[in-house]
Chain A
Amino acid sequence: MSETAAPGGAIRSVLATDCGSTTTKAILIELTDEGWRQTWRGEAPTTVEAPFEDVTRGVLNAAMEVQELSGRQLVEDGGIKTPDVGGQGVDLYISTSSAGGGLQLVVGGVVRSMTAESAMRAALGAGAIVMDAFASNDKRKPHEQIERIRQLRPDMILLAGGIDGGTRKHVVALAEMVAAARPRTRLGGGFNLPIIYAGNQQVVGDIEERLSDISDLQVVENVRPVMENENLGPARDKIHDLFMEHVMAQAPGYDKLMGWVGVPIMPTPGAVGLIMQTIASQKGINVAGVDIGGATTDVFSVFEGKFNRTVSANLGMSYSVSNVLAEAGLPAILRWVPFHIDEKGLRNRIGNKMIRPTTIPETLEELKIEQAIAREALRLAFIQHKEFAVELRGVQQERTIADAFRQTGSGDTLVKMKKLDLIVGSGGVLSHAPRRSQSMKMLIDAFEPECVTEIAVDSIFMMPHLGVLSTVDQEAATEVFERDCIVYLGTCVAPEGEMKTNSNVLTVQLTFPDGRTESRTMGPGELWSLPAEHDPGVKAVLTPLQSNLDVGAGPGKPLTKTLRGGVVGLVFDTRGRPIQIPTEQSVRVPLLEKWVDAMDEYPTAEGQG
């Protein structure tokens, strides 16, 4: 049991909310006899929309739901009741937010693949959406860039450029371009647009001369002080400060919300990123995480200690759902729908979800469609992440000059699927899927893990809440994370390599903790799932039956390994990478049904068309 010092005394209870673009989620965390536990949760539509236009209404509605369920009074006089007196009220109220489209930045740098990319990494690491990146070597002409900056209306601009003591001319040219655009803030209000300058420190005077009159200019340390180093922390911290001071203060109701919270409101992706890094460092593993929201999908990865985050700004399950259709195309979504459906009807359903983003699938058919769309949103977001997560990292890095010149989107990705140990899924469609097997299958279909990969989900979408809690009380956050947040679904085994379709693929021999054994030889295009506990796991001998196939020990070589199960268990997947799905509907639908049955994904009595 932990007693935690906090402003005003020891904390015994915490109410945490995450104001998403669609839903506001509230959880109650209490210090119990078993230590810190997440005890109750509630949610309500986010109320930044008319007629309410006040985010606190959604917060209070979600808190009221927790209050009704828990019996603990949380709402008093139109606000959150603090502190906890005799089990009524809470000692601390905290919140994250991605409502209002999140934090939107424009970044600039001298060379697109160097300082502009470092600026982008700092912005993404802070939890922002990068609306556009400008550079001196931009393909667009200067007047086109100026027009674009004028149109974008970001929340702030992060301007990098030049190493310390490096180019003056190009950095000043960038500042002159920004000054000529006279950019304005997205949310209006009577203040200048914040511009963070994090470039060549020897030209700060030139920058001030050009930008201080037209903006709220903030100067921080260079994100790229020398070619071989990134120093993203100061720029990222300044983004967080300005997020609170400018962006949050302008969003409907946030001025009130900021008065309620015990610690600063954090952008949701920033909080999730904190948790992902904690998992990877505590377990010493490579992790890929995804948080699929209504408007955006964030992907995080930590490979050999290198953290990267990307945000796919227009891939999401409500506001952006039609954009998933536009980007993936209807055939890509249809290939995951395990029943026959009229195409026009499907397009209209997706359009209706876009215009009424807070609705949920009531019927099984609607659920299957939504999960088909989710697969494509996740798949596209992960592709974008792999393209961005190249030889750079989100904190600070040492590299050789030769390495520094290789940092382009076409460089080697850090995300090596064969070395990926754990995939963590979060966001409504994954955390709230009625069956955990649905979440596991969505993640396998979208991420296509290779060799042996463990899969987990955030139980009820509380990683953002715990991310912000960890800034106040690391111990409480860790306890709740292990006990109530992360749900280990199981392990996926999938041979990597081109598969011959006319011969067997894999032999699996399993020895369970109770001595029971099971073995199977799998052909191509199969899914086999069986229950298994997470601890102590199942001893497995995995033997590829085609010489080029690899399950982790090298092509054609058998692998002996303990496989961790979970609430779903073990899944053996010989569908190939990429997963081979027939285009002909009459062939595809029966095959999808077979895979659905293999994982007991949906109830069988209804909804098959």
Chain B
Amino acid sequence: MAAIFTPGLTVTEHHIVQKTRQLPLEGEVMVSVGDMVKSDDVVAKTSLPGKVFPVNVANQLGIDPGRLSTYMRKKVGDSVTKDELLAETPGIMGFFKSEARAVVTGTLETISNVTGTVIIQADPIPVEIDAYINGRVVSVIESEGCVVQAMATMVQGIFGLGGETKGLIAMAASSPDEVIGPQHITADHKGKVVIGGAYVTIEGLKKAVEVGAAALVTGGFDYDEIKELLGYEVGVAITGGEDLGTTLIVTEGFGQIGMAPATFELLQKRVGKRASVNGATQIRAGVIRPEIVVTFDDEEVPEELVAPPEPVGITEGDLIRGIRAPWFGRIGTVSGLPVKPIKVGSETTVRVLAVDFGDGKTALLPRSNVERIER
């Protein structure tokens, strides 16, 4: 059967999720293969090198850099505290001494007899990473981290803001088409992963931040509100580092778009369960989409659902979503994959697929303008 290959988003009730938990630098891994971990457990830790401060000591002493070692009172590897003496000249008869002192507390990294510069590295910054999801450690990356695996409900969004967070799933919308405003957000949503519908207003999102919601999931959001939220425009979709207080996950796109019913129903089904959420998005090579992961933990999962799905292309009978006007957000079933390119309304000649939108009509859509909805 013919198939086309268009990247889609995962919206799956039973999905074997693997999360690589990796330190930014080498450090100590706290777990072993086979260990069961909770999402908040620390799995690896390290110390990030502190900031580096070059100081031109030769200049301060007024000496030739080649003679710097002679006057140094500290050597490479020594700890120094701020304002501690690093080097001094003997002066003449004890007078006219010159000295150089540490600008920061840290470790003396290098002494250069070419440039006369001494580099001090400030004290390291401890970093810990947690497991992010409940699951089993299936592999250890030596000195760097591990891979945690679990059976989980996995929902990928299309765009997010803010980083990793966790919380119990709570519904704010009663249908995937509902627009969420501040009146839908209550104090009960504190620490929760709040599920919205078609759209959230900027006031609604601000209320979620105000009450301390862990995350807000919505079908659509206005692109120009991002600037109001962050103070700058997101010109290139590389996000995750924003300090919003509440992670935002947009499942469909910008504008008022109903959340895909399958996504909404799936999240509704997991109300009250603890979800791990990450808004980080990178729409470049090594793409990262925002996600909501709800592990099954001790719940029973049917055996036949345990195999990880193979990525496949779009074939006849598949459910797809239109991702460009005039079909943006519409969901339909693929009814044909004609080989011959056709000329569409913009006069562009493209290869298309036939889609039945369930209203008795079949439309031809450019193959690039659809994405498969995983089931």
> Which residues of A does B touch, CB under 8 Å?
21, 44-45, 47-53, 57-58, 61, 65, 68, 99-101, 142-143, 146-147, 168-170, 172-173, 176-177, 179-182, 187, 206, 251-252, 295, 314, 319-320, 322-327, 344-345, 347-352, 354-367, 432, 434-435, 603, 606-607
Chain A residue at smallest Cβ distance from B310: A51
Contacts of A101 in B (CB 8 A): 284-285
Q: Does B30 contact A (CB under 8 A)?
A: no
Contact assessment for B350 and A48 in the assembled complex, using a CB-CB cutoff below 8 Å? no
Tally of B interface residues using CB under 8 Å: 61
Instruction: Determine the distance from Cα of A165 to Cα of B339 in the docked complex, in whole angstroms.
Output: 65
Query: Closest approach, in angstroms, between the C-beta of B196 and any C-beta of chain A?
Result: 17
Contacts of B346 in A (CB 8 A): 360-364, 366-367, 434
Query: Closest approach, in angstroms, between the C-beta of A402 and any C-beta of chain B?
Result: 31
Interface of chain B residues 116 through 134 with chain A (CB within 8 A): 117, 119, 121
List, sorted by A's number, 25 A–B pairs whose CB atoms are closer than 8 Å. A48-B285, A50-B287, A50-B289, A51-B7, A52-B7, A99-B285, A143-B54, A169-B115, A172-B112, A187-B286, A206-B114, A252-B286, A323-B236, A327-B235, A348-B224, A350-B223, A354-B283, A356-B158, A357-B283, A360-B324, A360-B369, A362-B346, A363-B326, A366-B346, A434-B346
Contact assessment for A347 and B223 in the assembled complex, using a CB-CB cutoff below 8 Å? yes
Question: Which of B8, B119, B368, B371 is the one whose CB lies under 8 Å from A360?
Answer: B368
Instruction: Determine the distance from Cα of A360 to Cα of B325 in the docked complex, in whole angstroms.
Output: 10
Stretch from B45-53, B164-172, B264-272 contacting the other chain: B45-53
Chain B residue at smallest Cβ distance from A358: B368
Q: Does B357 contact A (CB under 8 A)?
A: no
Contacts of B284 in A (CB 8 A): 21, 100-101, 295, 319
* Known A182-B49, A324-B235, A362-B325; further 11 A-B contacts with Cβ < 8 A: A48-B285, A49-B285, A100-B285, A323-B236, A327-B235, A348-B224, A351-B253, A352-B255, A359-B369, A365-B325, A434-B343
Contact assessment for A352 and B5 in the assembled complex, using a CB-CB cutoff below 8 Å? no
Contacts of B114 in A (CB 8 A): 168-169, 172-173, 206
Q: Chain B 332-354, CB within 8 Å of chain A: the 1/0 string?
A: 00000001000111111111000
Instruction: Determine the distance from Cα of A147 to Cα of B125 in the docked complex, in whole angstroms.
Output: 14
Question: Which of A180, A251, A322, A348 is the one whose CB lies under 8 Å from B110?
Answer: A180
Interface of chain B residues 92 through 118 with chain A (CB within 8 A): 109-110, 112, 114-115, 117
Q: Does B203 contact A (CB under 8 A)?
A: no
Query: Closest approach, in angstroms, between the C-beta of A364 and any C-beta of chain B?
Result: 5
Among B323, B325, B326, B343, find the residue whose CB has the most chain A CB atoms closer than 10 A. B325
> Which residues of B does A touch, CB under 8 Å?
5-8, 10, 49, 51-54, 65, 109-110, 112, 114-115, 117, 119, 121, 158-159, 222-224, 233-237, 253-255, 281, 283-287, 289, 311, 323-328, 339, 343-351, 365-366, 368-369, 371
Contact assessment for A47 and B5 in the assembled complex, using a CB-CB cutoff below 8 Å? yes
Query: If the complex has contacts A322-B237, A348-B254, A434-B347, are A356 and B323 also in contact, measured as CB distance less than 8 A?
Result: yes
Contact assessment for B52 and A146 in the assembled complex, using a CB-CB cutoff below 8 Å? yes
Instruction: Determine the distance from Cα of A324 to Cα of B234 in the docked complex, in whole angstroms.
Output: 11
Contacts of A206 in B (CB 8 A): 114
Question: Which of B49, B235, B286 is the one whose CB lies under 8 Å from A325?
Answer: B235
Across the A-B interface, give the 9 residue pairs with the lowest CB-CB distance, nearest first. Answer: A323-B235, A351-B223, A100-B285, A434-B347, A51-B311, A351-B254, A367-B346, A49-B287, A348-B254
Chain B residue at smallest Cβ distance from A187: B286
Query: If the complex has contacts A359-B369, A361-B346, A367-B346, are A180 and B236 also in contact, measured as CB distance less than 8 A?
Result: no
Chain B residue at smallest Cβ distance from A206: B114
Query: If the complex has contacts A100-B286, A362-B324, are A320 and B159 also in contact, measured as CB distance less than 8 A?
Result: no
Instruction: Determine the distance from Cα of A21 to Cα of B237 in the docked complex, in whole angstroms.
Output: 14
Contacts of A147 in B (CB 8 A): 51-52
Instruction: Determine the distance from Cα of A323 to Cα of B159 in the docked complex, in whole angstroms.
Output: 16
Contacts of B350 in A (CB 8 A): 360
Question: Which of B51, B324, B339 is the one whose CB lies under 8 Å from A361?
Answer: B324
Among A58, A351, A367, A432, find the residue whose CB has the most chain B CB atoms closer than 10 A. A351
Query: If the complex has contacts A45-B368, A314-B235, A351-B223, are A176 and B345 also in contact, measured as CB distance less than 8 A?
Result: no
Contact assessment for B348 and A367 in the assembled complex, using a CB-CB cutoff below 8 Å? yes
Question: Which of A58, A322, A355 is the one whose CB lies under 8 Å from B233?
Answer: A322
Chain A residue at smallest Cβ distance from B6: A45
Contact assessment for B348 and A347 in the assembled complex, using a CB-CB cutoff below 8 Å? no
Instruction: Determine the distance from Cα of A209 to Cα of B234 in the docked complex, in whole angstroms.
Output: 42
Contacts of A48 in B (CB 8 A): 285-287
Contacts of B234 in A (CB 8 A): 322
Contacts of B6 in A (CB 8 A): 45, 358
Query: If the complex has contacts A358-B368, A359-B324, are A603 and B51 also in contact, measured as CB distance less than 8 A?
Result: no
Contact assessment for B285 and A252 in the assembled complex, using a CB-CB cutoff below 8 Å? yes
Question: Which of A187, A319, A349, A359 is the one whose CB lies under 8 Å from B237?
Answer: A319
Contacts of A363 in B (CB 8 A): 325-326, 344-346
Query: Closest approach, in angstroms, between the C-beta of A430 and any C-beta of chain B?
Result: 13
Contact assessment for A348 and B283 in the assembled complex, using a CB-CB cutoff below 8 Å? no
Contact assessment for B253 and A355 in the assembled complex, using a CB-CB cutoff below 8 Å? yes
Contacts of B327 in A (CB 8 A): 362
Contacts of A323 in B (CB 8 A): 235-236
Contacts of B281 in A (CB 8 A): 355
Query: Closest approach, in angstroms, between the C-beta of A435 and any C-beta of chain B?
Result: 7
Query: Closest approach, in angstroms, between the C-beta of A96 and any C-beta of chain B?
Result: 15
Among A100, A325, A362, find the residue whose CB has the most chain B CB atoms closer than 10 A. A362
